[in-house]
């Protein structure tokens, strides 16, 4: 689905999620593995495995596996169950990035009688007249 207009906030492209059964089964299995590793890590912390060097390395390995497994779960979920949506964003004009007012885009004539006011405005742009 594509809209022809480019108004700010319009949905430019919307592709629904695939919602694959295989991905759902994979996420369920990875979640079970995640629960097992979290339980083993928690048991290791409570049992004091981190007091010697080998146990500490094993706990670090378990923590790394927990985060990698969680990353795979999130990647599968994003790819298979979230829709692909592109929203039109407003593009700013170059003079807006310089904090120039719209009526000052083409510049102003130098008024020699207001030199001090112009210096104040140049030093402090939010100065009120």
Instruction: Render each residue's pLDDT in the chain as its tens digit; 129 residues.
Output: 444 556 666 767 777 878 889 999 999 999 999 999 999 999 999 999 999 999 999 999 999 999 999 999 999 999 888 887 777 766 666 555 566 666 666 666 666 667 777 777 777 766 665
**Which helix (H) or strand (E) covers residue 61, if one does?**
helix 53-81
Calculate the alpha carbon distances from 8 to 55, 58, 87 in Å: 56, 52, 8
CA 34-19-70 angle, to 5 degrees, is 20
Q: What is the pTM of this model?
A: 0.58
34, 69 Cβ separation under 8 angstroms = yes
Angle of helix 21-47 relative to helix 53-81, nearest 10 degrees, comes to: 160
């Amino acid at each position: 689905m594509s809209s022809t207009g480019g108004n700010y906030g319009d949905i430019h492209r919307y592709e629904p999620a695939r919602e694959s059964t295989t991905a759902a089964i994979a996420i369920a299995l990875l979640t079970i593995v995640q629960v097992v590793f979290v339980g083993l890590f928690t048991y290791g912390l409570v049992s004091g495995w981190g007091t010697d060097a080998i146990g500490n390395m094993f706990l670090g390995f378990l923590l790394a596996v927990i985060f990698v497994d969680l990353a795979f779960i999130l990647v599968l979920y994003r790819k298979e169950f979230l829709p692909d949506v592109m929203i039109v964003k407003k593009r700013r004009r170059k003079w807006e990035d310089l904090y120039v007012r719209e009526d000052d885009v083409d510049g102003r004539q130098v008024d020699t009688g207001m030199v001090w006011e112009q210096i104040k405005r140049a030093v402090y742009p939010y100065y009120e007249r």
